[in-house]
Structure 1
Amino acid sequence: MSHHLSGPNLRSPKGDARLDLTDLFVFPAAEPGRTVLIMNVNPFAPTQGEAFHPDAVYRINVDLDGDNRADLAYSFVFDAPHDGRQTVTVHRAEGADARSHEPTGPAVITGAAVDFGRVPSIVHSGGYRFFAGLRSDPFFADLDGIVNGFQWTGNDFGLDKNVFGIVLEVDDDELGPGPIGVWARVSLRQDGQLLSVDRGAHPSLTAYFNAEEVKDAYNAGEPADDWDAYREAWTAVLAHTGGYGQADAEAALRTVLPDVLRYDRSQPAAYPNGRTLRDDVTSARLAMVSGGKVTDDHIPPHTDLLTVFPYLGQAHAVAP
C-alpha cells in the first residue's frame, strides 16, 4: 500500500476509513508560479464513509526552514453532512499557530461545497484554488504480487478505487523562496481532545517499516522526532529485507526520515523531490527495501489523470 490502511493490522485508524490518509502529493501547477498540494483520504470511498468526518481536522503542514516543524499549515474542517451535502472551511496558520494541531489561523475559504459528483466544483478565493470531494484514486500498484512473493499478477489495486481528495493550489510566493517540506495529518476530536490518528508524507513507510504495536504512536508523532525514534528499528528492517549494513541503511533512511516530503522548486518535480500523480513510488519503495533486488512491479500510472486543476481523475461509478 502507499499510506492506505495505516492503522494496526492493515486497518484504517480507529477503524474509520474517513480518517485514513492514503497519499500526499506536491508538484507544480499547470499555471506557472503556483504549487499544488493534495492529500487524499478514505481508500474505499464512498462505500466506507460517504462524507468527510465532521469531528476531524485534515491538515497539510509546510516546513519553510528545514527544521522539520510546521511554519505554515492549512487545516480543512468539514461540517456534518446533511441530505447528501457537506461544506468545508479552510484555515491558514503561521508560526507557532501552525505547530498546533488545532485549526488555528484565519479562514481563507469558508463554507465551500464538497463535491460528491463526477464533475468537479472548483473554488477560487484570495489567490487560492480549492477542491474537496470524491475522485479516483491515483495510487497504482500490484499489491497481490507484492504479497505473493513478487509473483506479478498485472492487477492494479487502485485502478477502480475512489478516494476523497483535498486539493489546494497556491502562489509560490506563499511558500517562500527556498525548498519546502510537506506532510499531512488527520486528527480526531474525542472527549474534548484532539488526537492525531494518522500522519505521513513519504509513501509506503508504515506498511514496510512499522511493527503493528507502534503504528498508533507513529501516527500521533511529530516528524522532528522521527530519526531518533525510528532509526534503529528501521535499520534492522532494511538489514533483514535488503541485506543492508548499518551505514548503508542509515544513508537510505535519510531520504525518508524524518517523514517529510521535500520539494525544491528549482529542480524538476519527481519523487522524492515532491511527488507527482504519475510517479512510480511503489517501485521506488520496493527497490529500497529489497536492496535493489526488486525494482519494478510493472504497473503503469493511471490514464484518467487531469492536466489541469483538480488533477485527480473523475470518480469511478460505484455499484449500488
Structure 2
Amino acid sequence: MSHHLSGPHLRSPKGDARLDLTDLFVFPAADDGRTVLIMNVNPFAPTQGEAFHPDAVYRINIDTDGDHRADVAYSFVFSEPAGGRQTATVRRAVGAQARAHEAAGDALFTDVPVAFGHEPHLAESDGRRFSAGLRSDPFFADLDGIGDDFRWTGTDFGVDKNVFGIVLEVPDHDLGDGTFGVWARVSVREGGELVSVDRGAHPSLTAYFNAEEVKDAYNAGEPADDRAAYLEPWKAVLAHTGGYAPAAAEEVLRTVLPDVLRFDRTRPVGYPNGRTLTDDVTDARLAMVSGGKVTDDHIGPHTDLLPAFPYLGHPHPVG
C-alpha cells in the first residue's frame, strides 16, 4: 500500500487512525504560477476517527537548498471537535522554526471550518487557498493481490475509501526557486512533549522496507539521517525481493533515500518528480522491489477527482 497503516504490524501509529499519514502529493495548480500540496491522513475515515486529532501537529516540510532539512514548513492544527464541528489554523515557518516540529511562524489561516460533509469548505487569503476535511481517498491498488503473491483480484482497495484531506495551494515563490523537496509529518503531544509518530514522502516505503521493530524509530526520524540509517538494510531487502546486486540496489535507492520527494518545476510533473493524484505509484514500487518482474497490478486511477481546488473527490457515503 502507499503510506496507510504505517505503524508496526500494519496498524496506525499509536493505534490512532487520526495520526496515520496516508499520502503526500505535490503538483502544479490548475492556475499558473501556483503549487498544490496535499497531505492525507486517517485511512477508513471517518469510522476510525471522526475528526482531526486536536493535540496533533500535521506538517508539510519544504527543503529549498537540497540538504534534506526543512527551510519552510506549513503546520496545520485543529481545535477540539464539538458538536460535529472543528476548525483549523495554518502557519508558515521558515529557518530554525521550520526545522522544529512545533506549529510556529506566521498564521496564514485562522479558525477555518473543517468540512465533514459532502461539500468542501474553501478558504483564500493573500493568494493562498486552504481546505481540510473528509474527502475520497485517491490511492488505488490491488492490495489483496499484492498480499496473495501477486494473484490479482481486480479489486481496488481505495475505490470506496475516505480520508481526511489537508489541501494547500500556494504561489510558487513560497517554495523557493527551481527544485525543492517535500515530506509530511504527524506529531502528537504526549505529557507536554511533542512526539513525531509518522512521517514520509515517497509512497509504499515503510511497508516494504522497514522491519516492524524499526517503524516507530523511522517515523520519529529526520530525512537527513535516512541514508546512514537505512541504506544497508534496504539494500538487503532489494537483494531478497528483486535479486539486486549491492551496487544496483544502492543506485535504485538514490530515488527514495532520503525519504524526500523532489519536484523540479522546470520538468513535467509525474512521480518521482512530484506526484499527481493519478500517478500509478503502486506499479512504480512493485517494479522497484521486484527488480522489474512485477510491473502492473491492473488497477487505474480514480475518476472522481476534481479538476480544480481542492482536487480531492467528494467523500463516499458512510454506512
Correspondence 1:236 to 2:236: yes
Q: Secondary structure at the match of 1:218?
A: helix
Q: Distance in 2 between matches of 1:124 and 1:117?
A: 20
Q: Distance in 2 between matches of 1:190 and 1:66?
A: 32
Q: Secondary structure at the match of 1:45?
A: coil
Q: Secondary structure at the match of 2:115?
A: coil
Residue equivalent to 1:284: 284
Residue equivalent to 2:65: 65
**How do residues 7-26 of structure 1 correspond to structure 2 at under 5 angstroms?**
7-26=7-26
Residue equivalent to 1:306: 306
Following TM superposition, where does structure 1 have runs of at least 4 consecutive aligned residues deviating by more than 6 angstroms?
Answer: none
Q: Distance in 2 between matches of 1:64 and 1:25?
A: 17
The two structures, once aligned, show a CA RMSD in angstroms of 0.4
Residue equivalent to 1:200: 200
Residue equivalent to 1:97: 97
**How do residues 1-320 of structure 1 correspond to structure 2 at under 5 angstroms?**
1-319=1-319
Q: Secondary structure at the match of 2:44?
A: strand
CA displacement at 1:177 relative to structure 2? 1.3
Q: Distance in 2 between matches of 1:32 and 1:245?
A: 43
Q: Distance in 1 between matches of 2:258 and 2:269?
A: 20
Q: Secondary structure at the match of 1:43?
A: coil
CA displacement at 1:173 relative to structure 2? 1.1
Task: Give the letter for the 2:187 counterpart.
Answer: S
Q: Distance in 2 between matches of 1:61 and 1:163?
A: 20
Q: Secondary structure at the match of 1:174?
A: helix
Q: Distance in 1 between matches of 2:110 and 2:220?
A: 28
Q: Distance in 1 between matches of 2:126 and 2:32?
A: 17
CA displacement at 1:106 relative to structure 2? 1.5
CA displacement at 1:56 relative to structure 2? 0.2
- CA-to-partner distance for each residue in 1:256-303, whole Å, 9 max, x for gaps? 000000000001110000000000000000000000000000000000
CA displacement at 1:131 relative to structure 2? 0.2
CA displacement at 1:175 relative to structure 2? 1.1
CA displacement at 1:50 relative to structure 2? 0.3
Task: Give the letter for the 1:39 counterpart.
Answer: M
Task: Give the letter for the 2:130 counterpart.
Answer: F
- CA-to-partner distance for each residue in 1:220-276, whole Å, 9 max, x for gaps? 000000000000000000000000000000000000000000000001110000000
CA displacement at 1:108 relative to structure 2? 1.0
Task: Give the letter for the 1:109 counterpart.
Answer: F
Task: Give the letter for the 2:276 counterpart.
Answer: T
Q: Which runs of 5+ in 2 are unaligned?
A: none
Q: Secondary structure at the match of 1:30?
A: coil
Q: Distance in 2 between matches of 1:192 and 1:247?
A: 45
Count of matched residue positions in the alignment of Structure 1 and Structure 2: 319
Task: Give the letter for the 1:7 counterpart.
Answer: G
- CA-to-partner distance for each residue in 1:82-115, whole Å, 9 max, x for gaps? 0000001001000111000000112111000000
CA displacement at 1:127 relative to structure 2? 1.3
Q: Which runs of 5+ in 1 are unaligned?
A: none
Task: Give the letter for the 1:183 counterpart.
Answer: W
Q: Distance in 2 between matches of 1:8 and 1:188?
A: 17
Task: Give the letter for the 1:197 counterpart.
Answer: V
Q: Distance in 1 between matches of 2:28 and 2:81?
A: 32
Q: Distance in 1 between matches of 2:88 and 2:48?
A: 20
Q: Percent sequence identity over matched residues? A: 76
CA displacement at 1:121 relative to structure 2? 1.1
Q: Secondary structure at the match of 1:170?
A: strand
CA displacement at 1:59 relative to structure 2? 0.1
Q: Distance in 2 between matches of 1:106 and 1:179?
A: 24
Task: Give the letter for the 2:307 counterpart.
Answer: T
Q: Secondary structure at the match of 1:268?
A: coil
Task: Give the letter for the 1:237 counterpart.
Answer: V
Q: Secondary structure at the match of 1:199?
A: strand
